[in-house]
């Protein structure tokens, strides 16, 4: 199977859960400790062997292209003022972005995550592609997308990232019905979106990281908007399952850190802040004080 070298990152969402601040600061730029969320996502992609990233953005997106550009004037000021530590942070970002090509496609209307992914079809071409949603971070020794890509090499079918949740949380997520194939690897039989309490088919929830194949794009092209006017990836994948297409789920190793709502974003900041080599010790002292 071919190596996964391209990734789609949808960033055209309205960020309604983060209003009113998301009116001016898109949620992918909210800080996660000392980096914006999107930098964590790009870092995972690069560590997973990705060398081309396709952003699906709002029309006339300005912040992301600006963030990806060098800033020689700011660097010059930092050098003159001998702000070495801050300059090093700039260099880290430059090193992260080097070796990756970035492109943008527009999602003109907010018509769902499946519709957003579909906008990247021409740039993806006839090859498998990773897809990383910008509000799902995974803290792991081996990057989550690298785990999925490794699994794809053995099965050659779409792969969905899965994470085990406690019973009380299952009603909030897309939950899969599965058949276990091997350690951490499952054949997905059905996707149930936000099941009623006590009716979840398993304790495995879908996380916003995937390996998508050309077949998925073919189904997305045929998909019609649902009652809310959206084309959703989960619904498209479930339709494929109903037509007996094979889709696998992989229960990745690592911790899922959600950043899609205010409370989970705060929890993720605390978790990563306590692990941070510079800030962690002082944060632990502060938490004991209060």
3-state secondary structure of 54: strand
**Any residues with CB less than 8 A from the CB of 220 and at least 6 apart, and which?**
114, 115, 117, 118, 121, 231, 233, 236
Q: Answer yes or no: is 196 within a domain.
A: yes
List Cα–Cα distances, 34 to 48, 235, 273, 280, in angstroms.
Answer: 22, 36, 9, 12
Average pLDDT over residues 11-27: 87
The pLDDT value recorded for residue 2 is 81
The pLDDT value recorded for residue 181 is 95
Average pLDDT over residues 204-231: 95
CA distance 13 to 20: 14
Q: Answer yes or no: is 1 within a domain.
A: no
Per-residue pLDDT tens digits for 240-255: 999 999 999 999 999 9
Average pLDDT over residues 121-146: 96
Question: Burial of 49 by CB count in 10 Å (0-12 exposed, 13-18 middle, 19+ buried)?
Answer: middle
Q: Answer yes or no: is 124 within a domain.
A: yes
Average pLDDT over residues 3-29: 90
Instruction: For residue 238, give its domain range.
Output: 6-289
The pLDDT value recorded for residue 55 is 98
Q: Answer yes or no: is 187 within a domain.
A: yes
Q: Answer yes or no: is 208 within a domain.
A: yes
Nearest-Å Rg of the Cα atoms of the chain is 20
CATH number for the domain that contains residue 71 = 3.90.550.10
Q: Answer yes or no: is 201 within a domain.
A: yes
Per-residue pLDDT tens digits for 1-13: 789 999 999 999 8
Q: Answer yes or no: is 126 within a domain.
A: yes
Q: Where are the beta strands (DSSP E) in 112-154?
A: 129-132, 136-139
pLDDT band at 78 (very low <50, low <70, confident <90, very high): confident
Task: Judge whether residue 35 has pLDDT over 90.
Answer: yes
Q: What is the total count of domains within the chain?
A: 1
pLDDT band at 46 (very low <50, low <70, confident <90, very high): very high
The pLDDT value recorded for residue 49 is 96
The pLDDT value recorded for residue 208 is 96
């Amino acid at each position: 199977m071919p190596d996964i070298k391209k990734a789609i990152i949808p960033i055209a969402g309205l960020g309604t859960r983060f209003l009113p601040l998301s009116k001016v600061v898109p949620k992918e730029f909210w800080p996660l400790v000392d980096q914006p969320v999107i930098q964590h996502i790009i870092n995972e992609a690069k560590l997973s062997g990705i060398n081309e990233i396709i952003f699906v953005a709002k029309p006339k997106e300005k912040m992301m292209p600006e963030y990806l550009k060098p800033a020689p004037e700011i660097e010059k000021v930092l050098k003159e003022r001998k702000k070495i530590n801050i300059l090093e942070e700039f260099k880290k970002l430059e090193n992260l972005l080097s070796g990756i090509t970035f492109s943008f496609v527009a999602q003109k209307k907010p018509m769902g995550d499946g519709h957003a992914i579909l906008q990247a079809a021409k740039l993806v071409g006839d090859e498998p592609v990773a897809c990383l949603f910008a509000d799902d971070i995974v803290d792991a020794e081996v990057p989550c997308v690298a785990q999925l890509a490794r699994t794809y090499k053995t099965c050659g079918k779409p792969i969905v990232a899965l994470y085990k949740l406690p019973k009380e949380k299952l009603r909030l997520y897309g939950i899969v019905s599965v058949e276990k194939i091997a350690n951490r690897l499952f054949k997905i039989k059905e996707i149930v979106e936000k099941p009623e309490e006590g009716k979840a088919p398993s304790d495995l929830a879908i996380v916003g990281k995937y390996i998508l194949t050309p077949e998925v794009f073919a189904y997305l092209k045929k998909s019609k908007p649902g009652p809310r006017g959206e084309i959703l990836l989960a619904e498209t994948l479930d339709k494929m399952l109903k037509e007996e297409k094979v889709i696998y789920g992989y229960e990745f190793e690592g911790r899922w850190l959600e950043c899609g709502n205010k409370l989970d974003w705060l929890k993720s900041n605390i978790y990563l802040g306590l692990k941070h080599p510079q800030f962690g010790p002082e944060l632990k002292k502060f938490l004991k004080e209060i």
